C-alpha cells in the first residue's frame, strides 16, 4: 500500500473542497463508487479542521447528454463522440431534485460556505469544479476563490479518477496550490483509470497526501 506524506495543517488561505459525496455515488446509488461512503468519516474530520470549506454537487437535468438512456441502443460505460470529444455514457444519476442527487446523510459539514452545482447544462458533461467538459465554459469558481484570497485548494471526495482528477488539474492550471487527500477519496477505476489518475496528478504537480 502506497504511503503518502501527511497533509500539512490548514492555514487561513486554504480551502477544503469536498467533491460530490452524493447518494448516487455511494453504495446503493445509480453510479456507485466502490466503498464511496467509506471516505465520509475522514472527510468529516477534515471539514472540522479547515477554516474554510466548500462543496460540489453533480446536478443533472433529466435526459442529460451523458446518460446512456439518452442514446437508444447504447449502454452505460460505452463511449460516443460529441461536439467536444469522447463522452463516456453513464447510468442516469444525480438528477436534479432526486434522492440520488442529495448529499449522503452521513456527511456532516455544518460550516460549508458554498455549494457549487455542476453538470446542469443538458448538452455538456461536467467533471471539474472549474470548467465543463467542453474545456471552454468556466464555472466561475476560480475567480470566486481568488477574490477571497485563497492560495491552496485541498480536495477530497468522489470520484478520484474523474471529478477529483479534473478539478485538481484545473485548479493547478488556474494558479492554485493543490493537494488531494488520497485516503479521503475513492475511484470508479474504469479499466485502470484510478492508477492513471493518481499518476497524472502526481506528474502535473498536485500534492498527493493523507489525512
Q: Cα dihedral angle (108, 109, 111, 113), rounded to 10 degrees?
A: -150
Active site (annotated) includes residue 20: yes
Determine the pLDDT at residue 1: 65
**Strand (E) or helix (H) holding 203:** helix 193-204
- Catalytic one of 24, 58, 118, 125: 118
- Catalytic one of 20, 24, 92, 125: 20
What distance in Å separates the CA atoms of residue 126 and residue 137, rounded to the nearest whole number? 10
Domain annotation for the chain: domains and CATH numbers: 14-61+93-209 (3.40.50.850)
Q: How far is CA 148 from the centre of its chain?
A: 21
Read off the pTM: 0.97
What distance in Å separates the CA atoms of residue 125 and residue 128, rounded to the nearest whole number? 9
Active site (annotated) includes residue 163: yes
Q: Per-residue confidence of the chain (211 residues) as pLDDT tens digits?
A: 678 999 999 999 999 999 999 999 999 999 999 999 999 999 999 999 999 999 999 999 999 999 999 999 999 999 999 999 999 999 999 999 999 999 999 999 999 999 999 999 999 999 999 999 999 999 999 999 999 999 999 999 999 999 999 999 999 999 999 999 999 999 999 889 999 999 999 999 999 999 9
Amino acid at each position: 500500500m502506497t504511503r503518502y506524506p501527511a497533509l500539512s495543517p490548514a492555514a487561513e488561505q486554504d480551502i477544503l473542497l469536498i467533491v460530490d459525496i452524493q447518494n448516487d455515488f455511494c453504495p446503493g446509488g445509480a453510479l456507485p463508487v466502490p466503498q464511496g461512503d467509506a471516505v465520509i468519516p475522514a472527510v468529516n474530520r477534515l471539514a472540522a479542521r479547515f477554516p474554510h470549506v466548500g462543496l460540489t454537487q453533480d446536478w443533472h437535468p433529466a435526459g442529460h447528454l451523458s446518460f446512456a438512456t439518452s442514446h437508444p441502443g447504447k449502454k452505460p460505460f460505452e463511449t460516443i463522440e460529441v461536439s467536444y470529444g469522447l463522452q463516456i455514457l453513464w447510468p442516469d444519476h444525480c438528477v436534479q431534485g432526486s434522492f440520488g442527487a442529495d448529499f449522503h446523510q452521513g456527511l456532516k459539514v455544518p460550516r460549508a460556505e458554498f455549494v457549487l452545482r455542476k453538470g446542469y447544462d443538458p448538452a455538456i458533461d461536467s467533471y471539474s469544479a472549474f470548467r465543463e467538459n467542453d474545456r471552454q465554459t468556466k464555472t466561475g469558481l476560480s475567480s470566486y476563490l481568488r477574490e477571497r484570497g485563497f492560495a491552496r485548494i485541498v480536495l477530497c471526495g468522489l470520484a478520484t479518477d474523474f471529478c477529483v482528477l479534473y478539478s485538481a488539474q484545473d485548479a493547478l492550471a488556474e494558479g492554485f496550490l493543490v493537494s488531494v487527500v488520497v485516503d479521503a477519496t475513492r475511484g470508479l477505476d474504469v479499466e485502470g483509470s484510478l492508477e492513471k489518475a493518481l499518476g497524472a496528478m502526481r506528474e502535473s504537480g498536485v500534492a498527493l497526501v493523507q489525512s
